[in-house]
Structure 1
Amino acid sequence: MAEYEIFAIRYAWRDAKRSDHFIGGDPHDGPMPMDYFTWVIRGEGRTIVVDTGFTAEVSARRGRTHLRCPIETLPALGIDPDSVEDVVLTHLHYDHVGNFHKFAHARFHLQTREMGFVTGPYMRYPKFGHSFEVEDVVGMVKLNFKGRVEQHNGDFELAPNVTLHHVGGHTPGLQIVRVMTRRGWVVLASDAAHYYEHLQKNRFFTQAFNLGDMVDGYRTCERLAASPDHIIPGHDPLVMKLYPAVSPKLEGIIVRLDVPPKKEG
């Protein structure tokens, strides 16, 4: 059975409060910072990158703290970005598709519904359009004309034991990634669950297109993962605390997700 290593690269963060992350606010409105990640799946002779982060320029404009370029961090794992053949874009929000231009030869995998969303009528409304960078969307359209965008309608097996699953909710075309590892099936939830708390308490993130699809997405993550400990949320700083660094030199930068998490407390 094909098994893979999975890595999370932390490339940015922002200071935030709990009320920023839950529809309806929160009665205990204390600090709740947000981390930004990209992910790497490696094994069976191939490397798959999941999401590509945002640039330092976009970070400055949007008031985020940019720590490093996630693509320029790939060599720390022995990966040459020019050698990457497949990049999964879970959706096209600015923090998941920026830096796409730094992959010279990759094919980009996204859901057809996501491409239709970002080129359709809802982008005229600031509530939806604010989370996208126009140049990222235009870049994907241009790459589609060049034959470098693979659009999927629902579930898709990208590689043996690496599958993509449409969930929607946060955006209409949001997809998650299921990967077989030595500890079992791991689900990279991306923005299907920004924080562990969203999934555990069935709470909704503030940026949402369809709340019903969002909560159904939580159940899909649970169904596909070997256990709740096998679900990796998209922005939770706990990920860096629960999983071990690749090496002491990469502490706080890259952690391994194909090993069991530490127990809290």
Structure 2
Amino acid sequence: MRNWKALALHYGTAERPRADLALEPADQHDTAGRIDYFVWVVRHAGRVFLIDTGFQPEEGTARGRTMLINPVEALRSVGVEPGEVTDVVLTHLHYDHAGNLTAFPNATFHLQDAEMAYGTGRCMCHPRMRRPFAAEAVVDAVRLVFDGRVEFHAGDATLALGLSLHLVGGHSKGLQVVRFDDGESVTVFASDALHFASYMEDGDVFPLFADYAEVQEGYKTLKRLAGHEGRIIPGHDPSVLRDFRTLGDDLPYAFLVR
């Protein structure tokens, strides 16, 4: 098996109007922008941590997204069978982060209390608020609760020495990010706390959010978690494909993060 600690698995992509990708796009014309979709896998402390599970093929098609490879198959191709995943971190319950939940039979799922309350509560009565959620994915998450396989968190938590969760909110009420410190360097997997790296410089935000102020405060949290030497990896930025090298010529969708 190849020697890696953390990978980005690039499983999907889409071209969207720029107005769909920023609240105040610099280019006001309705030109296309690109958004990419990733899941992240970390091997640490004898465990396999999967950060998010991607969207299901049917859900992606219905929303006009292109699935390049099923996330489950992408995992298999890098030597990780679904049954070997010990922990799944659901950064939040949006359709592109919480599909395919039933594919991981032995995993414990980590979710914030606030996110389950948000995704199953009165906010989902409003079409704009529920738009990024897929009902079936949320129902699958509820079933996992009844199966005793969800570990809920109320704020920051340590999963293993050097691997921790941090509640940010903003984009979704219970959005959490992952900090990985292996003693050599720090990586912060920002998920949708930072869709694109440019947002942090421009103070812009993705047009769908639960709390605008929390999104902005979240940028400060990401910087604090990374420190001066750490790296913040945005959740949907095509720059990931440029900034990291692939795991091998036969795995063009697997990018070596650590």
> 1:107-256, aligned counterparts within 5 Å?
107-181=108-182, 183-227=184-228, 230-251=231-252, 253-256=253-256
Deviation of 1:24 (Å): 3.2
Inter-partner Cα distance in structure 1 for 2:56 and 2:257: 24
Q: Which runs of 5+ in 2 are unaligned?
A: none
Counterpart of 1:21?
21
Residue identity (%): 40
Inter-partner Cα distance in structure 2 for 1:52 and 1:184: 25
Inter-partner Cα distance in structure 2 for 1:229 and 1:184: 6
Instruction: Decide whether aligned partners of structure 1 residues 242 and 183 sit closer, same or farther in structure 2, where only a CA change above 3 A counts.
Output: farther
> 1:28-39, aligned counterparts within 5 Å?
28-29=28-29, 30-39=31-40
Contact 1:7–1:254 under 8 Å retained in 2: yes
Counterpart of 2:53?
52
Q: Which runs of 5+ in 1 are unaligned?
A: 259-265
Question: Is 1:7 equivalent to 2:7 in the alignment?
Answer: yes
Counterpart of 2:70?
69
Counterpart of 1:100?
101
Contact 1:5–1:181 under 8 Å retained in 2: no
Inter-partner Cα distance in structure 2 for 1:123 and 1:135: 14
Deviates more, 1:195-204 or 1:231-240: 195-204
Q: Secondary structure of 1:168's partner? A: coil
Kindly provide the CA deviation profile for residues 34-67 of structure 1, in whole angstroms up to 9, marking residues without a partner as x.
0000000112221100000011111111111111
Q: Secondary structure of 1:90's partner? A: coil
Q: How big is the alpha-carbon RMSD for the aligned residues of Structure 1 and Structure 2?
A: 1.5
How many residue pairs are counted as aligned between the two chains?
254
Deviation of 1:139 (Å): 1.0
Contact 1:186–1:226 under 8 Å retained in 2: no
Contact 1:19–1:26 under 8 Å retained in 2: no
Deviation of 1:242 (Å): 0.7
Deviation of 1:183 (Å): 4.7
Kindly provide the CA deviation profile for residues 171-215 of structure 1, in whole angstroms up to 9, marking residues without a partner as x.
110000000146511000000000001112211110011111001
Amino acid at match of 1:77: V
Inter-partner Cα distance in structure 1 for 2:183 and 2:201: 25
Amino acid at match of 1:94: Y
Contact 1:11–1:69 under 8 Å retained in 2: yes
TM-score normalised to structure 1 length: 0.92
Amino acid at match of 1:234: G
Deviates more, 1:160-169 or 1:221-230: 221-230
Contact 1:94–1:136 under 8 Å retained in 2: yes
Counterpart of 2:79?
78
Amino acid at match of 2:13: W
TM-score normalised to structure 2 length: 0.94
Contact 2:45–2:160 under 8 Å retained in 1: no
Amino acid at match of 1:201: D
Contact 1:177–1:188 under 8 Å retained in 2: yes
Q: Secondary structure of 2:16's partner? A: coil
Inter-partner Cα distance in structure 1 for 2:68 and 2:242: 17
Deviates more, 1:115-124 or 1:182-191: 182-191
